[in-house]
Amino acid sequence: MNVLIVFDTYYGNTQKVAELIESSLSNVESQLIKVDLITQTLVDQYDLIVFGSPTRGFNMTKKIKKSLKNLDYRSKKFWVFDTRMDVDDVDNKLLLKLVKRFGYAAEKMENILIKQKAIKAMDYTYYYVKESEGPLYETMTQKVKDDLIRLNETILN
Ligand SMILES: Cc1cc2nc3c(=O)[nH]c(=O)nc-3n(C[C@H](O)[C@H](O)[C@H](O)COP(=O)(O)O)c2cc1C
C-alpha cells in the first residue's frame, strides 16, 4: 500500500494538516503534493489517495474540483478531509443558515469521487481553524493523530 496526499491551501492550514498526515503514516510509502502538481501518471502509481481542501464558499477549491473531475480514479481507494470554520465561532445568523444549507468541501469531494467509482477507504473528516484564516485549533493535532490511527488500521486491513 502506498499513499499520495494532495492538498490545496490559501493560508497554509490545510497544508499543515496534510503534512501532519504524511508524518503520521507508519510503514507506508507516501508522497505529499500541492494539487497543482497532480497528474494521471502520479495517480496511477498510488493505491490510496488522500485529498485535503479548505472550505471556501461552502465548497472545495476550484483546483481540487478540477483534479477530482478531470482525472480517472476508478478503483482507487480514497479519503478526503477539509478545513473549515467552527460554527460556534460564527456570530452571524445568515451565515449559519447558509452553512447548514450549502455545507462544506469534504462531503462534496467524497461525492465526486464516489461518482468516479473510486472506493472510500474511510469517511471524510474535517479540521477547524480559528476565525476565517486560521491557525488551526490546538486540539486539531490530536484529531489528526486519532484519524490516522483509523487510517493506518484501514491500510493494514
Ligand atoms: C473567502 C473565504 C470563504 C470561506 N468560506 C468558508 C465556508 O463556506 N465555510 C467554512 O466553514 N469556512 C469558510 N472559510 C474559512 C476557510 O475554511 C479557512 O480559511 C480555511 O480552512 C483555511 O485553510 P487554508 O489555510 O488551507 O487556506 C472561508 C474563508 C475565506 C477567506
* Mean pLDDT of the region 67-75: 97
Rounded distance from Cα 44 to ligand 1 centre (Å): 30
| Sign of the torsion formed by the C-alpha atoms of 101, 10, 150 and 46 | positive
Ligand 1 atom showing the smallest separation from residue 17 Cα:
26
The pTM of this model reads 0.96
Q: Is 137 in the pocket of ligand 1 (CB under 6 A)?
A: no
Rounded distance from Cα 81 to ligand 1 centre (Å): 13
> What's the pLDDT at 95?
87
In the chain, what are the domains? 2-156 (3.40.50.360)
pLDDT band at 89 (very low <50, low <70, confident <90, very high): confident
Residues forming beta bridges with residue 3, ordered by sequence position: 30, 48
> What's the pLDDT at 154?
82
Is the pLDDT at 96 greater than 90? The verdict is no
Q: Is 108 in the pocket of ligand 1 (CB under 6 A)?
A: no
122-140: pLDDT as tens digits: 999 999 999 889 999 999 9
Cβ atoms of 81 and 146 within 8 Å: the answer is: no
